[in-house]
Structure 1
Amino acid sequence: MIVNSKIHRVLCSAVTAAIMTAIISFTLTAVNSGLHAFQFSNWLRAWIIAFSLVFAISFFLPAFVNRHVSKIIRIKE
């Protein structure tokens, strides 16, 4: 599949956010409720909320951080 760089960036952000939030929300849900009382619906709700936030943040935050760090630190050529 050939895509332009903007679509590639969105797909990478979405996949990274999905994997990270799935692992973290599963871990936190399992720890808080215990494995014996783990409910898939609780985990799914936590994952959807976390994914929504992390996807938006992972799409916009790198450019913001890069711009501000570039004002402070210069790259050695």
Structure 2
Amino acid sequence: MINRKYERIVFAFFMALFMSFIMSFIITFINLGFVDIFLSSWIRAWLIAFTCAFPIIVVVAPIVHKIVHKLIAKI
């Protein structure tokens, strides 16, 4: 198992993986439709998206967590 101190990095990795995978599929489909080059175009787009998404999530997730923490009422 992975040490708990790496939780944010592991979270960011999987969030980036799934979100970039799904979003790149949707955008590639919108732009191209299901054509012969769809699969190769989608994988290329996904690799680029994941490469960008992972460091962005590492930086942005703690900021979003703080904003949400301030917006949620304490009962």
Bin for the TM-score computed over the shorter chain? 0.7 to 0.9
Partner of 1:34: 33
Sequence identity of aligned pairs in percent?
Answer: 34
Runs of at least 5 residues in structure 2 that lack an aligned partner in the other structure = none
Please list, as runs of the form range in 1=range in 2, the aligned pairs for 1:1-77 lying within 5 A after superposition: 1=1, 3-65=2-64, 66=66, 69=67, 76=74
* Shift, 1:8, TM fit: 2.2
The TM-score with structure 1 as length reference comes to 0.72
RMSD: 2.3
The TM-score with structure 2 as length reference comes to 0.74
Q: Contact 1:30 / 1:38 at 8 angstroms: preserved in 2?
A: no
Runs of at least 5 residues in structure 1 that lack an aligned partner in the other structure = none
